[in-house]
Structure formats: structure tokens, C-alpha cells
Amino acid sequence: MSGKTRSLFGTAFRHFLNSLKPRQVEGKFVGDDYHGNKYYEIPADPSRGKRHPRRWFVPPVEMRHEQDYMPAEWDAWLRNRRVDPPSELELKENLTVAMMKKANAEKLAEKEGKKHISVAEQSSFPQYDDYEKTPGEGLRHK
């Protein structure tokens, strides 16, 4: 006897027991970025019904799953918008271009005499002196 049961109750009980076992999902380390995020992948396996690879990242600090701390190239790879992960050279070039654009924008704003306006100040919503601008910061003063 093989020990396998074909009864409905036995199959349901076996699936229930298997659901209680901890699963060890081991992915292949693919790379990391300059923020310290580490990226992993389990390749697609069409024979088992897995058409897309499973991809995820592990942030360096607990619960820091924010978009601000992830380069756009890695985000595209995680969302299956690109097949291959970004290379170190590609990441460095794009970071250099982004920093150059930021520096040029600051120089241009300084040249035109404009003050940098934060996103909160750009709001089209009315602001009243009787209410806090940001919770916990106290009342606005003129």
C-alpha cells in the first residue's frame, strides 16, 4: 500500500495538514540597489501553471516598503515590465543623469530667482489660519 488515500475526507485532511506546515520559499538572489534593497526571483514554471516569475524585494530597514526607496528600473523588473534585471552600469548612469537634472533645475531656479516650493505649498485646496497645516505641527501663523 502506498499510504495515499483517495477518499474525499482523507484528501481534505491531508491538504489541511499541509497548509499548517511552514513553507520555505527560497528565491534566487538577483541583485541589489544603492538603497540596500535586495531583489529575489522564483522563475516561471509553465508545467506547474506558473506563467510569470515570482519576484519580490527585501528592504534594509523593517517596514520601509515605500516607492521613494526603489529605483524605477527595479520597479519595472518587479512588475514584470522588463525581463532582465537592471545592470549596475544602467543604474549608475540613470542615477548620474537624475542628479545632474536636479542640480540643473536648482541652478535654473536660482538664476530666475524662484524659491523652491514644497508639494504641500502647491496645494489647490484652501488653507485657513484656524486649522493645522500638518497634523501635530500646531496652528498656522501669519
Per-residue pLDDT tens digits for 14-60: 888 888 887 666 889 999 988 889 999 998 888 878 888 989 988 88
Q: Which residues contact 73 (CB under 8 A, 6 or more apart)?
A: 82, 86, 90, 91, 94
pTM tops 0.75, yes or no: no
The whole-number pLDDT of residue 138 equals 66
pLDDT tens track for 97-121 = 999 999 999 999 888 887 666 555 6
